[in-house]
Structure 1
Amino acid sequence: MKQKEENREDVRRIGWVVLVLATMLTLPFIGMGHFYTRGEPREALVAMAMLDQGNFILPFFQGEFAFKPPMLHWLVALFSMPQGYVSEMTARLPSALAYIAMCYGFFVFFSRRYHVGKVLIATLVLITSFEVHRAAMTCRVDMVLTAFMVGGFLFLYRWKERGYRGMPWLASLMISGAILTKGPIGAILPCAVMAVMMIVDGEKTKPVLKALLKVALLSSVLPLCWYVAAYHVGGDRFLDLMMEENFGRFLGKMSYESHENGPFYYFPILLSGLLPWSLLIVGSLFAIRWREVGMPKFKAVWSRFRSMDSVMQFAVVASVLIFVFYEIPKSKRSVYLLPMYPFLSLAIANLIVWLLQEHRRIFKAYAVTIVVVGVVFSVALIALHAVDLSFLGDSRSSRRLALQLGELQKMPMGVAYVLASLMPVLVAVAIWMRRKALNLYLWLAVGVWVACYMSLDGVLNPALKNCVPDYYFAQKVKVYQPDGRIGFYRVGKEEPAYAAVFYLDDKVMPYSEVSAMPETGYVMLREANKERFEEEMSAYRCREVARTDNEFTSFKGNLLLYKYDKR
């Protein structure tokens, strides 16, 4: 009894470490850096429209209603209410909190059902995987969706442990959140995983269908309320867009290009998303005796799967189904596979333990590689301040790189900058000094990579984000029109310049026809549309008064500001 209490206390302490680590890697940095892509400000603008209009069902922004499920936007609006406006930090906060909750919940759940040491390693793998960390730092739906879906998976597994008795309230609540974040996919995958697990456990058809019906009905109540309310506001137009977004995307029948990629797209993407641990996976191939490895037979694979611990069976089923499901449609993005990462991290944890026990040299080489990468990264961040960037040349990519590194050079070389840059080196030295008390190579690999993230998010990423000119263009516009109320000349179905619109407080009015514009005022347009605009404005006096500092905007082109008035 005393031993169990001590074990619980150890798990509780480790849980606090996981919570602090996940928090430390996100919350201090999410407010650093402007929006620099199209996606982040687009999501933030929906939350901004909700607050401005008081419409939390189907708000209008930039001439369209926001037809996608609103969970992320609700959370952004909620976190923005105390300060009265949407900022970069409050916009990214839901993703960061979802990441923290998912990592902590993953550890707590599996530490009660699997080897605690392996679960800790798996949690560290999850926390430090590149794709997971990247999604945690952005204002997009992906991390919020992943947290809800993973929560649904885990609570459904707990319901399985209880023999599917009663009602799966918590699982259904998580799945409802997933549906309200991304749509029906939030329910399809958890239900599919549960159905396959029931079949693996030998359940008959009737209990499987009964369990699926329970989950489907409970999970649909809250989302259905929003869908009905949204249809009441948006009518058939909302229904058409919703059907296209969910089913058209899956069937490859979108009316616009939607991240179409080939069947092998996910293999290299998964390896890059699992960095730095994918390097270890590749390195472990040298530990396999390939001459003894033949073509695996189905019976042998099935027998090995059946002999696994129930937790690992669950992880395998979830990983395979997620991968296969997202492999089917033409529309493929790296973030679609995010729900796989918690379950893959369990497999990687087993690989790490095996290498530490059986092939320590391989893991040692991996850890040394990570340390070298960390040291080189630290030295580069400091040395770049003394580099003349003119050697990069004058090509478009060279000019963009020079612009990004030039923004880094503008940062004052103070104590804070040096300490942040040298974080990987300092952590490596600290772990080396405690090498007798720690599993040296494991903690070197984890600690130095964590420190690299802190240097990346504290020093390099803000420079990369802040060199994008959309924010600075918006400040120029406010010199001429302080309240930000200007027009935006758009051609056809051209997207708004979301980042500039966000920094102009969503006061930009889109126009596709000159005749709809006021007789005098200011209008923003893409440089690519300049000639067409001037032709259509022949009845007006027009002059260009401002433009972006460079063409490396969030949409990869210059923005212009024109002053116009009728002749």
Structure 2
Amino acid sequence: MKGYLSKESLSQERSFPIILALLCLILYIPNLAGRDLWCGRETLYAEVARDILLNGHWFAPYFNGELYYNKPPLFFWLIALTSVPVGDVTEFTVRLPSALSALGTVLAVYFLGKRLYSARTGFIAGIILASSPGFHKYACVAKLESPLTFFITSSIAAFYIGLTTSSDKRRYLLWGWFLMGLAMLTKGLGVVLIAPVILLYLLSRRELHRIWEMELVLGGFILSATMAVWLLPGYALGGSEYIKGLVGHFGYHVGQGPEYEKPFYYVTEAFVGTLPWSLILPAIFFYLRRGDVDAKHREGLRFSATWFIAMWIVFSLIMAKRSRYILPMYPTIALAAAVMWEDYIAKTYETWSKIKVILALILSLCAGIAAVIMTSGFIVLTPLTSNIIALCLIALLVTWWSSVRAGQYKTLFISLFIMITSFEMAYAQITLPIESQAGTEKAVCEKALANMEPGARWALYKFFSPDFVFYGKTYVRTIDTEKDLADFLSSKDRVYCIVDETDYAEINLSALNVPAFKITKLEKTGKRAKTFILISNRPGKPGDVSPGAKI
């Protein structure tokens, strides 16, 4: 942290990206393992990547034995590649691409901030982005948004530099097109999110005619070639079914039409996701009214504003509202907030005594950790502990207020950074494992497998969860009706089916004249507690001579 507090020098400037990279590794890497994958997206993506790794379906991915065309394959490629050293997809390797993508986004923001303002402002922007709660969250989970944000941010930065530089203009613009292609290979939204930002920025400068300078022909070819690397082999291997599935899935989302309700949903989500740093953003309006703000800073804030507004419009028109969608808006918020923090830090008066600074930092550390412990239920709040926590919070607020009045903005910045990062690290180590355990079917799946004959076929009745496919390491059939269940249990081989306890009570297989035996109960504990019943067409457990209870 010392680099931005002292006078900027060449050696310090060179250390900025190294410090940011180390910061990201410290904040993200320890939080990737040690907890189960979330039911749904994480296990789904992990299983698609495992199929790529083990079965070689790189261009036409499969899930549960069927073609998977809901998403382009780049994210799954990254997971598969990071899993090569261990030979299988694990909780750590499935989340590692998200963490590395977040690191890349932080560095891209640093270099863009350096171009827009100064190296120190870019450094502060990197710190703000890396520690923002919403950004930190998706850096530690296996979701598409983190790599998508990296490619979008890098593409926008390349286009901006290409439009504003006199040297290597063409090289930057072509890199922008290539990175746009990678964004589309990640989620298919590259053009939809990147193009409006560039167009609105040029429009705000009344330079829309400069769009013809952006290497449209060669850039369009690079974009198409990047997509063709996937689509041509995908068609050759998956056939027309794969392409029709891609088009149909895309058409389904586009065909839902725009959503005009909650127009400011994403504004509030972006503000909350970047707390406490976003609290300084209203000061920009007063900052721009000052007469001493140079043209470079005004132009940089114009670019940040058009970036935010363009994406806000696009996201506001999307039917579904998800907070994770707006992750590509976080970099521009970090850049704008960094301008204000750099301005205030430059006004810092004589530094407080070491005792005051250390006290402020200790209080911030304690506040971040205490907030997690209180909400996780690890301790019982007695009157004594409640009073101690209340006194600490009051002392911290008084310290912050005193730092503002005394112009100690450096201390305030570091204090906020320590508080938010200690909260994030403690939350990831204490609360997330508890929440993920409540949201996963891993324990149920493992107990079910322990009560089955190895290699036997099994199915799920009237429900489906990707957890059973990933943790079961086999294809799982879904059965929707009692007749289909009866047909399944009529197999000559031993088969199993997992049934929700409520559905189990309503089954009337005796009327269908098929063998069905209750093998065991499968209990899911935690906040989302649920009971399943494992049934089979043969009595007893593997190696068990006692028969099961016939239904």
Give TM class, smaller chain: 0.7 to 0.9
**Is 2:124–2:338's contact at 8 Å kept on the other side of the alignment?**
yes
Mapped partners of 1:507, 1:542: distance in 2 = 22
1:126-141 alignment, distance < 5 Å: 126-141=129-144
2:266 matched to 1:266?
Answer: yes
Residues 210, 119 of structure 1: CA spacing in aligned structure 2 closer, same or farther, 3 A cutoff? closer
2:198 matched to 1:230?
Answer: no
Residues 136, 218 of structure 1: CA spacing in aligned structure 2 closer, same or farther, 3 A cutoff? same
2:434 matched to 1:463?
Answer: yes
2:112 matched to 1:109?
Answer: yes
Question: Higher mean Cα deviation, 448-457 or 527-536?
Answer: 527-536
Alignment-derived partner of residue 470 in structure 2:
502
TM-score normalised by length of structure 1? 0.76
Q: Which amino acid aligns with 2:435?
A: L
**Is 1:53–1:59's contact at 8 Å kept on the other side of the alignment?**
no
2:327 matched to 1:327?
Answer: no
Residues 552, 244 of structure 1: CA spacing in aligned structure 2 closer, same or farther, 3 A cutoff? farther
Mapped partners of 2:344, 2:263: distance in 1 = 31
**Is 1:129–1:277's contact at 8 Å kept on the other side of the alignment?**
yes
Residue 178 (structure 2) aligned to one of 136, 158, 173: 173
Alignment-derived partner of residue 407 in structure 1:
none
Q: How many residues align?
A: 494
Alignment-derived partner of residue 443 in structure 1:
414
Alignment-derived partner of residue 100 in structure 1:
103
Mapped partners of 1:151, 1:72: distance in 2 = 16
Give 1:201 shift.
4.4
Partner SS state of residue 521, structure 2: strand
Residues 320, 465 of structure 1: CA spacing in aligned structure 2 closer, same or farther, 3 A cutoff? same
Residues 106, 382 of structure 1: CA spacing in aligned structure 2 closer, same or farther, 3 A cutoff? closer
Alignment-derived partner of residue 256 in structure 2:
252
2:9 matched to 1:7?
Answer: yes
**Is 2:121–2:339's contact at 8 Å kept on the other side of the alignment?**
yes
Partner SS state of residue 540, structure 1: coil
Give 1:454 shift.
1.7
Give 1:473 shift.
1.1
Mapped partners of 2:517, 2:260: distance in 1 = 40
2:499 matched to 1:525?
Answer: yes
Residues 532, 124 of structure 1: CA spacing in aligned structure 2 closer, same or farther, 3 A cutoff? same
Partner SS state of residue 50, structure 1: helix
**Is 1:487–1:523's contact at 8 Å kept on the other side of the alignment?**
yes
Give 1:339 shift.
0.9
Deviations 1:462-491 (A, max 9, x none): 232234451111221221236475422344
Q: Which amino acid aligns with 2:176?
A: A
Alignment-derived partner of residue 543 in structure 2:
none
Residues 372, 156 of structure 1: CA spacing in aligned structure 2 closer, same or farther, 3 A cutoff? same
2:520 matched to 1:545?
Answer: yes
Alignment-derived partner of residue 41 in structure 2:
39
Mapped partners of 1:252, 1:359: distance in 2 = 52
**Is 1:251–1:329's contact at 8 Å kept on the other side of the alignment?**
no
Give 1:10 shift.
1.0
Deviations 1:20-52 (A, max 9, x none): 111101111201200133111011010112123
Give 1:376 shift.
3.1
Mapped partners of 2:476, 2:208: distance in 1 = 59
**Is 1:261–1:332's contact at 8 Å kept on the other side of the alignment?**
no
Residues 454, 340 of structure 1: CA spacing in aligned structure 2 closer, same or farther, 3 A cutoff? same
Give 1:356 shift.
5.8
Residue 160 (structure 1) aligned to one of 159, 163, 172: 163
Alignment-derived partner of residue 28 in structure 2:
26
Q: Which amino acid aligns with 1:374?
A: G
2:320 matched to 1:347?
Answer: no
1:150-549 alignment, distance < 5 Å: 150-162=153-165, 165-166=169-170, 168-183=173-188, 185-203=189-207, 205=209, 207-208=211-212, 211-252=215-256, 262-280=262-280, 309-353=298-342, 373-374=367-368, 376-377=370-371, 380=374, 384-385=378-379, 439-468=410-439, 470-481=441-452, 483=454, 485-491=456-462, 496-512=464-480, 513-514=484-485, 515-516=487-488, 518-519=491-492, 520-531=494-505, 534-535=508-509, 538-549=513-524
Alignment-derived partner of residue 405 in structure 1:
none
**Is 1:62–1:510's contact at 8 Å kept on the other side of the alignment?**
no
Question: Higher mean Cα deviation, 174-183 or 509-518?
Answer: 509-518
TM-score normalised by length of structure 2? 0.78
Give 1:544 shift.
4.4
Partner SS state of residue 56, structure 1: coil
Mapped partners of 2:26, 2:14: distance in 1 = 18
Deviations 1:403-431 (A, max 9, x none): xxxxxxxxxxxxxxxxxxx9xx9xxx9xx
Q: Which amino acid aligns with 1:175?
A: M
RMSD: 4.1
Residues 311, 476 of structure 1: CA spacing in aligned structure 2 closer, same or farther, 3 A cutoff? same
Deviations 1:61-101 (A, max 9, x none): 22531112011111111111111111000000100000011
Mapped partners of 1:22, 1:245: distance in 2 = 35
Mapped partners of 2:239, 2:512: distance in 1 = 36
Q: Structure 2: which 5+ runs fail to align?
A: 1-6, 350-356, 383-391, 540-549
Give 1:202 shift.
4.4
Mapped partners of 2:432, 2:334: distance in 1 = 26
Mapped partners of 2:331, 2:302: distance in 1 = 14
Alignment-derived partner of residue 563 in structure 1:
536
Residues 323, 437 of structure 1: CA spacing in aligned structure 2 closer, same or farther, 3 A cutoff? closer
Q: Which amino acid aligns with 2:135?
A: V
Give 1:451 shift.
1.7
Mapped partners of 1:562, 1:152: distance in 2 = 53
Mapped partners of 1:460, 1:19: distance in 2 = 26
**Is 1:374–1:448's contact at 8 Å kept on the other side of the alignment?**
yes
Mapped partners of 2:416, 2:120: distance in 1 = 16
Question: Higher mean Cα deviation, 321-330 or 452-461?
Answer: 452-461
Residues 281, 526 of structure 1: CA spacing in aligned structure 2 closer, same or farther, 3 A cutoff? farther
**Is 2:109–2:125's contact at 8 Å kept on the other side of the alignment?**
no
Give 1:187 shift.
2.4
**Is 1:191–1:215's contact at 8 Å kept on the other side of the alignment?**
no
Mapped partners of 2:373, 2:144: distance in 1 = 35
Q: Which amino acid aligns with 1:192?
A: P
Residues 533, 497 of structure 1: CA spacing in aligned structure 2 closer, same or farther, 3 A cutoff? farther
Residues 551, 28 of structure 1: CA spacing in aligned structure 2 closer, same or farther, 3 A cutoff? closer
